[in-house]
Structures are given as structure tokens and as C-alpha cells.
Structure 1
């Protein structure tokens, strides 16, 4: 088992460092040996632009799509995701929103999405008013609030590690 893992790691490392991957050409061929006869090496223009210790890869495909197209695809996949999971939720979005507003009267529910957290089906929401913002997670089974956490403002996050004199904390 160890030898298999080591050889797999070595093969993966070599494939990643050389920019070579294996692609299936889609043709059906009879297998004559233990090797994959229908896989062919494909190279890509992959350059490691290592800057200050962070690895960034400049990968350019021959096919470019607009951000609007990507956004539409994401929204379509999100809608399909929600539709697929909605049948398992015993609590509706309306019930989840009612539970959130009961906990935060006078606030506005900005987002409410059916999601999963480690296979637990929940509604995730952002609620806010003029001063505060909260992340609220509601159980999609019974409508109970599982998490209600204040989200710090940008100003609070930026200045959180400074002492009163304005100097950075040690």
C-alpha cells in the first residue's frame, strides 16, 4: 500500500511539474494490456509565477468566456442545487425568514440560501440594519436557529489589532 501511494504521489508530482496531463480522446478501444491505451499526453502553457513565496499559476485556455456567462452558469447550477435539495427541507424559506426576523426584529434579511454544512441541510442568511450585520443559520428541518453570530464591520476588522495609542499591538 505504501509503495502504491509513493508511486502515485511521484506520478502526480511529475505530471504537475511538467505541465503534462492525460486526456481521454473519447474513442472506444479494446484494452490489450494493463495500461490505458486511450489516454494521450496533453500539454498546457503553465508558468509558475512565484512571487514572494506565494504560488500563482498563469493558466490561459484557448477558450475564453465572459464573466456574464460564468455568472449565468453559476446561477443555473445554484438554482439546480437548491431545487434538488428543497425536497428534503421540512422548513420553507418563508418559515426560516420568520424565525430570523423573530430573533432580529426590524432588521433586513439580505440573503437566504439553502445550503449544507457537512451534510446538514440549513438555511444560511445575512441580516442587517444600519449598524449591525449577523450571520444566521437556521435548521431546514425544524426552523430552529442553530447559529446567530454578529459579523464585524470592515472598520472593526481593520483596527482590531491596534492599541488605543494607534500603534500596532505587539
Structure 2
């Protein structure tokens, strides 16, 4: 990751992994390591600006059981189609370089990164851009629109009561 960030000319770095774990109620030990964003003095970015990574030490199924009861949602959502991340003008170029390095994909269009879906076929698009209303970011970053997909759900529908765009959650067909 460090090499890819350096190759993109990004100043962003990640810390060394930190051990974590828990004992489940059935007495099974679950272990993982978590890698967080490094925040040096004077960094223009903050934790949450870029993803953190959870590396399973024990089998992933122990930490994230994928039984239907855990992954089927009444709304019909089956995955993330897109996520818009709004950042301030002074962060947008740095974070686009970092997102390219972190995702391992080139920017498809201005601020758009298409990454393979975690489950099933298709892609998830991450947009990193400056909002039209600069006050939206309140000092750095805000998650904008989250679009979930589901097979056969029809036209786009709103799943929350938020405003259009910023903080809104939608469901639509792939």
C-alpha cells in the first residue's frame, strides 16, 4: 500500500496493523488486525477520509457469518452500487490520488473509481468530489449519496428520509 501511495505521489500513509479480537459467546476466539490511516501533525486529512482495513487472522466466517439471515435485507438490497464522498477543494486532488492507490484502479472519469464488487458480479463506483455547496463538508468530508442495488427492485427509490443527495440512501436495480 505504501508503495502504491508513493507511486501516485500521495502524502497519505497507513500505520502498521494493530491486533484485535474477541471471544464469541460460544467460546470461540476470533482474531484480526486493523490498519488505520496515519495522521501526522499537520495532515490535511482525518480518520474516516479513507478506508481502514481489517485483516482476518482466524477464518473470516468466524467474524462475519454469511448465513442468509445475516445478509438478506427486507428492502431487497444486495450490494453497494455507488458511494459519493464530498471533500473540500483543498483535499480533492490529494484524496483522488490516494483513492486510486488504495483501490488499485485508475480514475475512470473526474473523481470516479470503479472497483469490483465484493460479492457477485459488477462494480461499485466511488466518487470523490467537491459538492456544489461548499458548506456541506463542514471542515473536511461528508458522505454524500449511497446507492444500493438489488435484482428486480425496479426504479430508484429512497430508503431514508434524508435530503436529496447529501446523506441520502437509495435502492435501484443494477
TM-score interval, smaller chain: under 0.3
If the length of structure 2 is used for normalisation, what is the TM-score? 0.20
If the length of structure 1 is used for normalisation, what is the TM-score? 0.21
Higher relative contact order, chain-length normalized (CA < 8 Å, sep 6+): 2
Compare the two structures and name the one with the higher helix fraction: 1
